[in-house]
Amino acid sequence: YRHYPSGKDVFKQGDIAEYFYIILKGQVNITIDVKKLRGGDGDGGSEVVQSVTRGVGDSFGVAALVYNAAERKYSTTALERTLCLIISRENFGKFLGQKPSLEDTLMKGTKSFLLQRYAAMNVPIFAELSQESLMEAASLAKFKKFNQGDVVYRQGDPPSAFYVVLDGEVTMTSVPDAKDLGEESSIPNSSSRNNDGSLVKETNSIAAHLSGGSTRTLTVGMHFGEVGVLLPSTSCIATCE
């Protein structure tokens, strides 16, 4: 058990994620510094948003233990004298093992909390959803882990899912298709020219164009894969790693 006086931080955004909390008395307020969450360097101040308030019977702090994040993604402060039951990361698995239905219930609540968090952050695809829709989305969603260097999907693959980044970063790279450069007949064939050097330069120029493309980094709260889900006949437009 651990108690917190009014105004006391339970944990701050960026703290090491060590415990899962269940509120026995009182309530806590959850805030998010969006700039810090998305890797901002702090220049230009913070962008703090109010997420949700948790009261008696509610839990928090579980998401980081579920997907094994090292740090907290938000800050939690006691709004009044608050008493919590806490369970350590080491004992979390034993806790879930006490009852088979406990994990399913807890996971659904965790996913609902995460979607509420992104709605509070004004992530466009969630911000306009009702609480009922967020709960329905939580029941349909699932967690999926990727190691560094794993490819989520490749450009040209058939679409399969819509993703939201919970922890870590995803690199999205889009390479122009050859047809975007004009007719295929305009691309020189190495057997159709004399080896005078001009062919090599022209071919290399096209290769550079093909490999140039665009790259962006997606951080916590950002999403990808929605184009293929909304337009199933469209192949994935980028490679996500």
Give the number of other CB atoms < 10 A from CB of residue 139. Answer: 11
Map tokens 């996913």 to a residue: 111
Residue of 230, 92, 227 whose CA lies nearest to 172: 227
Q: Show pLDDT as tens, one digit a residue, over the chain (241 residues).
A: 999 999 999 999 889 888 999 999 999 998 888 877 776 544 455 567 766 788 999 888 887 777 777 788 889 999 999 999 999 988 888 888 888 788 777 887 788 888 887 787 777 778 788 888 888 888 888 888 899 999 999 999 999 899 988 888 999 999 886 444 443 333 334 334 444 444 344 333 333 344 456 888 998 878 898 888 888 888 898 999 9
The whole model's pTM is what? 0.65
Q: What confidence score (pLDDT) does residue 180 get?
A: 45
**26: how many CB neighbours lie within 10 A of its CB?**
19
**CA–CA gap between residue 172 and residue 241 (Å, rounded):** 7
pLDDT at 195: 46
Decide if 61 contacts 113 (C-beta within 8 A).
no
Q: What is the pLDDT of residue 40?
A: 59
d(CA 179, CA 2): 63
